[in-house]
């Protein structure tokens, strides 16, 4: 059963989805709906992916446990970016203002890590049975 955690634990999880939806949503959807906005290919890919993530995060408000894979994706890409981009830049003392801003934004991943019900993740995604083929 998907609701094997206390209901009070769902509220911080919902707040994290709201943070994801509003944070990425405001920044990216405002660019998408602006007809004058244009991007190079990879910048456009990033804007589109983050806008899609923010829209899907709204589903997490209603289904916080079912949308955990979206949370996993958000945690994973931010940790990878911090480890592979931010940390080496910090080691080489080449942190720019733009990089510092992104480090701060990605550093907020600590909130997502803190509210994720890792005991539920362990039971249902790691050791739980896989879905059967029909």
Question: Which 8-state DSSP code applies to residue 130?
Answer: P
| Segments making up each domain of the chain, as ranges | 7-126
3-state secondary structure 43-104: HHHHHHHHHHHHHHHHHHHHCCCCCHHHHHHHHHHHHHHHHHHHHHHHHCCCCCHHHHHHHH
Instruction: Give tens-digit pLDDT for 6-41.
Output: 999 999 999 999 999 998 888 889 888 888 888 899
Helix, strand, coil percentages (3-state) for the chain, rounded to 5, are 75, 0, 25
Of the candidates 118, 126, 86, 123, the residue with the CA atom closest to the CA atom of residue 9: 118
Instruction: Give tens-digit pLDDT for 38-85.
Output: 889 999 999 999 999 999 999 999 999 999 999 999 999 999 999 999
pLDDT score, position 100: 96
Instruction: Give tens-digit pLDDT for 76-132.
Output: 999 999 999 999 999 999 999 999 999 999 999 999 999 999 999 999 999 988 888
Give 2's pLDDT tier (boundaries 50, 70, 90): low
């Amino acid at each position: 059963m998907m609701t094997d955690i206390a209901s009070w634990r769902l509220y911080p999880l919902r707040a994290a989805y709201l943070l994801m939806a509003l944070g990425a949503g405001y920044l990216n959807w405002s660019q998408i709906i602006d007809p004058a906005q244009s991007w190079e290919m990879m910048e456009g890919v990033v804007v589109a992916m983050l806008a899609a993530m923010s829209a899907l995060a709204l589903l997490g408000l209603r289904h916080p446990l079912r949308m955990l894979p979206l949370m996993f994706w958000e945690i994973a890409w931010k940790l990878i970016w911090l480890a592979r981009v931010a940390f080496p830049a910090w080691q080489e003392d080449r942190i720019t203002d733009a990089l510092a801003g992104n480090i701060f934004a990605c550093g907020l991943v600590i909130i997502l890590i803190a509210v994720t019900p890792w005991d539920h993740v362990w039971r249902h995604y790691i050791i739980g049975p896989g879905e059967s083929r029909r």
